[in-house]
Amino acid sequence: MKRVVVTGMGAITPLGNNLQEYWLGLKNGVSGSGMITRFNTEKFKTKFACEVKNYDSTKYFDRKEANKLDLYSQFAMIAADEAIADSGMELDSIDKDRVGVLWSSGIGGLYTFYDAIKGFVLGDGTPRFSPFFIPKMIGNIASGSISIKHGFRGPNFATVSACASSTHSLIDAVNYIRLGKADIFISGGSEAAINEPGIGGFNAMMAMSTNNEEYMTASRPFDLTRDGFVMGEGAGALIVEDYDHAKSRGAKVYAELVGTGMTADAFHLTAPHPEGLGATNVMKLAINDALLKPEDIDYINVHGTATPLGDVSEIKAILNVFGEHAYDLNISATKSMTGHLLGAAGAIEAICTILATINDIVPPTINFKTPDPAIDQKLNLTINKAQKRKINAAISNTFGFGGHNASIVIKKANL
């Protein structure tokens, strides 16, 4: 099968509105959390989130175009444009029939849906829906919008698996290129759910932190006092390319995508398997697919949402897969900084893992104070400060409601 590499990246996140700012925030252990500015949180249990800062749509879109795009699609377009520019693609010379877009969102156009329904319910009952209501809301429209803007006519669809969505989109891109179905994919994910139904819905599930007094440090994976995830928003985009195609056009190569794994817990709608069965299996599959051994892995960017059950389950899975080598790994949960970007989490965390591999720097798990007896404290959780180490191969994990698990193995570009 064909080899698959990453030749471009773009990001808009709570840590910065481009790739460089994002990496700087990760290295420096910056918290992206703040009090919610998007709506009045007076009656909500959670009053904080990791919002994209200083966002002004007019910097990226004219007013007419912005009105046709939900916020999640705006984030998608911004990250994709940065990744395309970063890749050095000559859009006039590539075969656009061989360029696809695989894009993910766990929720899609929640802003658009909420605003339209609110307007109808509060009105006089006359259906005055915008003609853009449906195309702004649906979860596949970001992939369509990216392809329309740039004329990419290859495979194009949306992959949805809750918080594992954009890792699944990357895996799909890898597999289609391996099979020769396309030369290039713009792949990633975007999410924009920091609004009343997004915050209220996750509050009702008791999945999200309500630590309003310590909101800057509320996302605290592995800590005994963790009480749920912190909502994030934004997008991450990767240019996933056939190695031979990248080589022929003289592209720079960030990293090689060498192994993928996909499993299901088959256990519960929202809770992880208590012994980490699905997470164990998915990492084993990804490592085997990469033709590596567990001891070849240097770093794991864990799902690490700071939920009481999820963190323990993932650590059990790591111990199951790696045994004694688990104590030689660096492990970090970068959601401690970015918050949880839901369907976009896999994309921005794959980008983080690639940048860690390039720079031989492991971003930290911040906000850790109190050890949890249920989590082995001999593990190197990269607590509170980035660490230098040689990284040849790394894993990025994402797990979603419904028991969806996805892992991807990233290898240093020794090509």
Q: Are 72 and 192 in contact (CB under 8 A)?
A: yes
Rounded to whole angstroms, how far apart are CA atoms 46 and 260? 35
The two tokens of residue 146 are: 């990216």
Rounded to whole angstroms, how far apart are CA atoms 148 and 154? 11
Quick check: is 268 catalytic? no
C-alpha dist (Å) from residue 114 to 51, 121, 136, 158, 352: 18, 10, 12, 21, 32
**Identity of residue 178:** R
Quick check: is 245 catalytic? no
Rounded to whole angstroms, how far apart are CA atoms 29 and 16? 13
Q: What is the per-residue DSSP string for 106-148?
A: SS--HHHHHHHHHHHHHTTS-----TTHHHHHSTTHHHHHHHH
Residue tagged 């003609």 (tokens): 131
E-assigned strand segments in 267-329: 299-301
Q: What is the per-residue DSSP string for 222-259?
A: TBTT---B-BB-EEEEEEEEEHHHHHHTT----EEEEE
E-assigned strand segments in 132-233: 156-158, 184-191
H or E stretch covering 308: helix 308-322
Q: Are 411 and 256 in contact (CB under 8 A)?
A: yes
Which of the following is catalytic: 168, 245, 273, 340?
340
Q: Are 112 and 133 in contact (CB under 8 A)?
A: yes
Rounded to whole angstroms, how far apart are CA atoms 207 and 108? 19
Which of the following is catalytic: 50, 303, 352, 404?
303
Helices and strands (H and E) in the chain: how many: 13, 14
Quick check: is 163 catalytic? yes
Which of the following is catalytic: 163, 245, 273, 404?
163
**Residues acting as catalytic residues:** 163, 303, 340
